[in-house]
Amino acid sequence: MKTYFHVDMDAFFVSVEELFDPSLKGQPVVVGGRPNERGVVSAASYAARKFGVHSAMPLRTAYKLCPQAIFVDGHPERYRECSQQVYDVLHAFSPLVEMASIDEAYLDMTGTERLYGPPMKAAHLLHERMKARTNLNCSIGIAASRLVAKISSDQAKPNGVLWVLPGQESAFLAPLDVRKVPGVGKVTEKNLHAVGIRKVGDLARLDEAFLEQRFGKWGLALAGKSRGLDAGGWFDTEIGENEGPKSISHEHTFSEDTADPAQMESTLARLCEMVGRRMREHGLSARTIQLKLRYSDFSTITRAHSVPRATHIDTEIYEEIRELFHRNWTPGATVRLLGVHVSGWADEGEQMSLMGEERHEKWEGALAAADKLRDKFGESAVSLASTLRGRFRERTHENPASLPGKRPPGKPAQ
């Protein structure tokens, strides 16, 4: 019988801000930007959540709901530093750790009873160590599957521990809203409601054949999840098997719409730099490069191009994106958002010309050195000159570059 812990840091971004500014404790705090900006909420304190504020909500909506809230830009470097401390505590507790995001992780605790005692005792010990080493609170879910452990940690918030005993998974899940199941978003929830499924118990009572017919392979995964099984998506691999992302993207919404091609080119260069950094961190190279362009009227186009040689070089990605941009942007039209998306992982393919190959190798060396400096001094330590005009505040992200515990194959753990 497996024993899994899901450790979820409580209101992580807000809690880190409180470490640096204790006056924020107990206050309604919103992390993500200023109330008059176009961005979205990255995190909200429990005091702000009482007014209906939640992550991914537009900042302006959050202000309408809670005008007395303290709005904070956010400090991604601080969050990465604290996430590393969290990872260090977890990795010292169990060698089988998988960081699911910057503030949550799964631990395989199977067979550790001689070392830590039964699961509940071990969880309380980890709880105490986390507080002592990081001064941050966490909630821990314990179960025989990662899915149930994740759901139970959510039910344990804030600052609690909840163990779902083996054999009790269905009884625990049955009364919960289907939205509590990892992977069920607004669209899936709406589709489930359309067929009368509102609770996990409703889902568990349905025939697998019906779910497969209605929702395809995802329907079969939902059937398994409703019974507390690890099925679909994140749960298809074992802890420690770092498959890496299926795609990588970054986008930026301008504070004010712009028709300035120089500003937009510089912004695209910065986005390409961020995407390239993430790819190199995972040891990946992409063949498909895609531009996202949203105009002021919210009309949005995406255009992709496949390159003959897979790449993770910032400048090579930018050359393709810049061409896609000028081929598809209507000169003079104001733009609200730009994005860069890469996928189609592959080994570097065809050989370039001698001059092109030499240039590629030089950039490879330069970017490797730049990444080392970023690892040591932060993401803003080194940047391309072409990005200076398009610099923008890094959005607080659940899966940023330099995420602890994430490493390409062959690279040793930190």
The set of catalytic residues is 104
Total residues found in the chain within this entry:
414
How far apart CA 18 and CA 86 sit, in angstroms, is: 16
Please name the residue ranges forming H helices in 99-145: 113-116, 119-134
Q: Are 149 and 172 in contact (CB under 8 A)?
A: no
Tokens of 288: 């498909």
Backbone torsions φ then ψ of 100, nearest 5 degrees: -80, -25
State the amino acid at position 50 in one-letter form: K
State the amino acid at position 316 in one-letter form: E
Q: Kindly provide the residue ranges of all beta strands, DSSP E only, lying in 79-190, ordered along the sequence.
A: 97-101, 104-108, 138-143, 161-163
List Cβ<8 Å contacts ≥24 apart for 150-158: 150/6, 150/8, 150/104, 150/106, 150/182, 151/176, 151/180, 151/181, 151/182, 152/6, 153/6, 153/7, 153/8, 153/104, 154/8, 154/180, 157/8, 157/10, 158/10, 158/11, 158/46
- Nearest by Cα to 138 from 126, 121, 122: 126
CA count, 13 A, side-chain hemisphere, 9: 29
Cα torsion 17, 21, 25, 31 to 10°: value is: -30
Burial profile 115-130: b = 16 or more Cβ within 10 angstroms, e = fewer: ebeebeebbeebbeeb
- Cβ neighbors of 219 (< 8 A, separation 6 or more) are 208, 210, 211, 212, 213
How far apart CA 220 and CA 206 sit, in angstroms, is: 11
Q: Which helix (H) or strand (E) holds 384?
A: none
Tokens of 266: 């510089």
> In which residue are the tokens 């990605």 written?
317
Q: Is 293 helix (H, G, I), strand (E, B) or coil?
A: strand
